[in-house]
Amino acid sequence: MFERFKKKSKKEVEVQSPLTGKAVPLSEVPDEAFAGGYMGRGVAIEPSEGRLVAPFDGTVAHVINTKHAVMMEDNATGLQYLFHIGINTVGLKGKGFTSHVEVGDSVKAGQTLIEFDIEAIKAAGYPIVTPIIVTNADELASEVEGHTGNVTAGRDFVLSISLKS
């Protein structure tokens, strides 16, 4: 009789790290658009390896033409993510980045999205810290929590997300 009064459980989503390195709060990113949360909520990673992998099965929504960033959509939840390798790296005009995906590609967790040359990026004077942003969190999520510390791509979780009912 009281079934309709039961509180519905929130759907929780955990996102694996797309990079190996050290996860840090977005507030530590040396770019106000990311640090201030203007691009969305999330976490950032100081990569120790130059390989960005898909953290879940999904669809490639956008690849920036200079190959330094990619957007993916999680088909199961509708959440969209921006993976932005480095800060101001658009200035490299694609040098040091190799994309392995195109818009519309279906990808599996662990699949390589972009390879990048960490040393070349650093040598050009750009920070390599990589924001991982949930771009539509305000629409679909009630909470986005970033986890910090050392992470391994495809093994450790960097985001916990509570979806709105």
Residue 1 has pLDDT above 70, yes or no: no
- State CA 40 to chain mean position distance: 11
Choice among 62, 68, 84, 100 that is catalytic: 84
Describe the strand order of the beta sheet including 112-116 as a list of residue ranges.
Answer: 51-53, 112-116, 97-99
147 is catalytic: no
Region 4-16: what's the mean pLDDT? 70
pLDDT higher than 90, residue 4: no
pLDDT in tens, 90-140: 999 999 999 999 999 999 999 999 999 999 999 999 999 999 999 999 999
Instruction: Report phi then psi at 63, rounded to 5.
Output: -125, 120
pTM of the predicted model, to two decimals?
Answer: 0.92
What percentage of the chain reaches a pLDDT higher than 70?
94
With 50 as the cut, is the pLDDT of residue 6 above it?
A: no
Averaged pLDDT, 31-47: 97
pLDDT at 10: 65
Q: What are phi and psi of 51, to 5 degrees?
A: -145, 120
Average pLDDT taken over every residue of the chain: 94
* pLDDT attached to residue 8: 44
**pLDDT higher than threshold 90 for residue 24:** yes
